[in-house]
Amino acid sequence: MFYQKLKPFPKGFLWGASTSAYQVEGAWNEDGKGMSLQDLHEPPAGVTDFKVASDHYHHMPEDVELMAKLGLKAYRFSISWSRVMPAGSGAVNEAGLAFYDRLVDELVAHDITPVATMFHFDLPLELHKQGGWANRATIEAFCLYAQVLFERLGDRIKYWLTINEQNCMVIHPNSMYPKAIGEVPDRKNLYQQSHNMFVAAARVTNMLHEMWPDAKIGPAPNITAIYPATCAPEDVIAADNWESIRCWNYLDVAVFGRYNPICWAYLEEKGLTPEFAPGDAELLTSAKPDYLGVNYYATATVAAARNDGTDCAAREGDQQVMLGEEGVYRSAANEHLTKSEYGWIIDPVGMRTTLRRVASRYGLPILITENGLGAKDTLEADGSVHDPYRIDYLRRHFEQAQLALTDGVDLIGYCPWSFMDLVSTHQGYGKRYGFVYVDRDEDDLRTLRRIPKDSFAWYRHVIETNGAEL
């Protein structure tokens, strides 16, 4: 459809940026912080771990100052569970909580809306030792942790996100589990973990609504439209299956309180159905998210499975991520799309499609909680960082966001990944996403100086004009 006129970005649009605790904070063992699974990460030679990261823990006021200079209206960050509750449950670490208290104060003082994720891949190690999310005691621990956060920060944080990319933790468990733990749990266990996460998210959603009726809360899965490789009906079914299993199930449970029927049939067929405790079904239906966080990076294109042992293969350039599932679907090439230098598909129009599908299915406000380009940026001799490729990437995605708004999507904000350079989940510090360059590399912490990239000035102008000039 050709529009005569595009709808402008609405007044109060949350132009933001994202990070997560373990990827920026550093201070992995300071001020009483307990260990999380991410602290066990032992990357291959030449790739950094998460111990210092961007040292945001020690640079926080300066970093928020830069957010203000960028003109951010919102900052999406995560809270480290084991910083606040070192054992995941029980005693609160006041010094750790004080860090988030100061962060939130700084944000509010600069008119930046805090958007806090409660759990972003960094499960407290003590909880992991007791079975992690597969153990229902972790649901109780999460609720205790949430209660502390809501009591102590709920007066100032009005946007909460429960769990980051629950679907990725099931489909790509190494997003949460470092190699050091040995074998990752089997899929039956992972789907039970996921069920327990649904229950935990529902409980804290209801808790927040009781404690702070003016606050909003929602999930933050990684959602993407799945394309069929061709218009062959079998490819269409494969795409539909995979979209239901990979994406819709996570929003269906969060919003409708029931599993997606196509996903459930798949779980039955594979012997992966989770156990429900008495009361789970009622609880899931009772919890109503106020908005949906959507992490969007890339669409996937799939074809019907062949079921001949070749359906599953490593993603190009990334041995960590396997695509395809034997007998379910296989990954297919999409000749219409390009890829980043890290082999990630670039598909701005796919983001519009994704947003439209989410809006049509759920009718809730959407906040883009992640989207961005990982690239090898270069610090020039004169101290500048030129990242025209990132500007181009984000501009094309913002254009599609505006088209999605014009299509009728209730898009309330956009938080690109990431505010500043941080440690990528598996590809260290060489793969940078930020508007702000951090002067360090994999092995050498150098000065840790913050340097706005060209994309910083560009994004500031976008925000200043409320997206009228992209």
Interface positions with ligand BG6 (CB under 6 A): 20, 23, 164-165, 168, 222, 295, 370, 374, 417, 424-427, 431
Is 370 known to be catalytic? yes
Contact, 160 vs 208, CB < 8 A?
yes
Which ranges of 244-330 would DSSP assign to H, the alpha helix? 249-256, 261-270, 280-286
Residue 58 CB, shortest distance to ligand BG6, in Å, is 21
Residue 188 CB, shortest distance to ligand BG6, in Å, is 24
Contact, 218 vs 291, CB < 8 A?
yes
Distance linking the first and last C-alpha atoms of the chain: 21
Which has the closest alpha carbon to 419: 465, 452, 377, 378? 452
Instruction: Look at residue 357 and give its three-state secondary structure.
Output: helix
For ligand BG6, give the closer residue by CB, 89 or 249. Answer: 249
Q: Which of 106, 126, 325, 370 is catalytic?
A: 370
Q: Which residue is nearest to ligand BG6 (CB)?
A: 424
For the chain, give percent helix, strand, coil, nearest 5.
40, 20, 40
For ligand BG6, give the closer residue by CB, 19 or 93. Answer: 19
Q: Which of 126, 165, 243, 325 is catalytic?
A: 165
Instruction: Return d(Cα 402, Cα 388) in angstroms, integer.
Output: 21
Three-state secondary structure string covering 207-219: HHHHHCCCCEEEE
For ligand BG6, give the closer residue by CB, 340 or 466. Answer: 340
Contact, 83 vs 21, CB < 8 A?
yes
Beta bridge partners of 159: 115, 216
Is 464 known to be catalytic? no
For ligand BG6, give the closer residue by CB, 146 or 220. Answer: 220
Give the CA count within 13 Å in the CB-facing half-sphere of 262: 16
> Rounded to whole angstroms, what are the CA distances from 16 to 58, 352, 435?
22, 18, 11
For ligand BG6, give the closer residue by CB, 311 or 370. Answer: 370
Active-site residue numbers?
165, 370
